[in-house]
Structure 1
């Protein structure tokens, strides 16, 4: 019976991925299939161990990202909160593990009820990071050619692109050349407004960077009004529509930690295509991934809150049953 459930969940995950790969549901269904497999092989104890591992992973990310943020201007308080939450979660995992090893089944049960919301969030985190990594690898290798490459801005040093932004532009140049080599009349849109500490709009510096590295200026468009990813996509779509490409395929280039969420935002904006990520240094990666995951949770906070409440109630009923 359990293996039938595993098969159904796996088929459902594949079906959703085929219809719309830019959906976290793909990762959630795959994770549920994996969880059911663990239940079939190792029983409830195996599921508890997997949940503890997921929560410990999220807690470790929180501590590492908090330590990184504490060294950044204006992020010290947020960093301290992230470290504190991570330490508390690790302490909770140790308490559950201690009660489990000590065969205190009732205590384990009620500790599990207490931690059900955290287990739910940690499971979503594993689905987000795991499927995001799979999505990024598949896109880099097998993505179809596109009509428009949109590069998202990432801040300047005066009038020059930062290292993070340069990595995005280099990835965009590769995507542009790849699509044009396969017969598409592909153009690139540099998307980014002007921040308070920037001497020119990001789009201007981005376009200059690409042209200086051999990209034909006739292929480059500039979107210089946006201040957020939503505006990047909306304003760039308007430019594409002005050139008759509103029904085309798009590649939105950002960094790898942001690529899957950017793809989700593309889906919501009605843009066909995929998100494409440039590599990120390990020093910034953990904090950036945690920030993206928090944004995804916040965007659907009412839904996730309701699901966590239902799961906690169900866990409490099970724990109270003799």
Structure 2
């Protein structure tokens, strides 16, 4: 019976991915299938081990990402909170292992109940990072042609693109070339407004970078008003519509840590297509992934809070049962 449930969850994952791959529900369904398979193979003890490993992974990301953020202007306090939460999670895992080693089953059971919300968040984190990585790899390998490549801005050094933004533009050049080589009349939209410490809008510097690498000016459209990813997408969609592209396919180019969430936001604003990621320096990756995951949680905070409460209540009832 349990393997039938695993099979059903695998089918549900495949159907969800086919219908809308830009959804975290695909990763959650895959994680549920894996969790049920672990129970079938190793029982509840095996599932507990997997949950603890997920929490340890989240704790390490929190600590490493927090340490990176503490060195960034304006993010020191947030980084300190991340490090503290990661340390608490590590301490909880150590306490749980010590109690289990002492065979204090009742205490271990209530410790597990106490950690239910953390296990839920850690499971979502694994689903987000794991499925996001799979999504990014599939898109890079089997990238279909598009009508418009949208490049998201990422800050300037004066009037010159930063290293992060240059990596996005280089990835956009590849996507543009591939689409046009397949007979598509593909254009690129440089999307980014002007920050308080920037001498020109990001879109202007981005377009200059592309023109300097041989892209014809007629293929480059500029969106210079946006201040967020949501505005990047909405304003770029307006520009595409002005040029007669209202129901086309889009590739949104950003960094790899942001590509999946950008794809989720594309879905929300009604743009067909996919998110495409450029490489990120390893020392920045943990902090960037942590910020993206936090943003995803916050966007649906009421839903996640409700699920955590329900799961915790079910755990309490189970632990209190004679």
TM class, shorter-length = over 0.9
TM-aligned CA deviation for residue 216 of structure 1: 1.0
Counterpart in the other structure of 1:313: 313
Residue 221 of structure 2 corresponds to which residue in structure 1? 221
Deviations 1:45-78 (A, max 9, x none): 0000000000000000000011001111111111
Give the TM-score of the pair, scaled to structure 1: 0.99
2:200 maps to 200
3-state secondary structure, aligned to 2:189: strand
Q: Equivalent residue for 2:299?
A: 299
CA displacement at 1:143 relative to structure 2: 2.2
Name the count of aligned residue pairs.
Answer: 322
Q: Offset at 1:2?
A: 1.0
2: CA distance between counterparts of 1:316 and 1:157?
54
Matched, 1:35 2:30: no
Deviation at 1:290, TM superposition (A): 0.4
* TM-score, length basis structure 2: 0.99
Residue 254 of structure 1: CA displacement? 0.2
Shift of 1:103: 1.4
| Structure 2 spans left out of the alignment, 5+ residues | none
Distance 1:223 1:210 in 2: 14
2:99 aligns with 99
Aligned to 1:245: 245
- Structure 2 match to 1:113: 113
Stretches of structure 1 that go unaligned for 5 or more consecutive residues are none
Alignment partner of 1:196: what SS? Answer: coil
Q: Alignment RMSD, CA only?
A: 0.5
Moved over 3 A (4+): none
Q: Secondary structure at the match of 1:222?
A: strand
State the SS of the aligned residue for 1:189.
Answer: strand
**Cα displacement (A) at 1:228:** 0.1
Equivalent-residue separation in structure 1 for 2:172 and 2:178 (angstroms):
10
Cα distance between partner residues in 2 of 1:13 and 1:258: 22
- How far is the alpha carbon of 1:197 from its aligned partner? 0.2
SS of structure 2 residue aligned to 1:66: helix
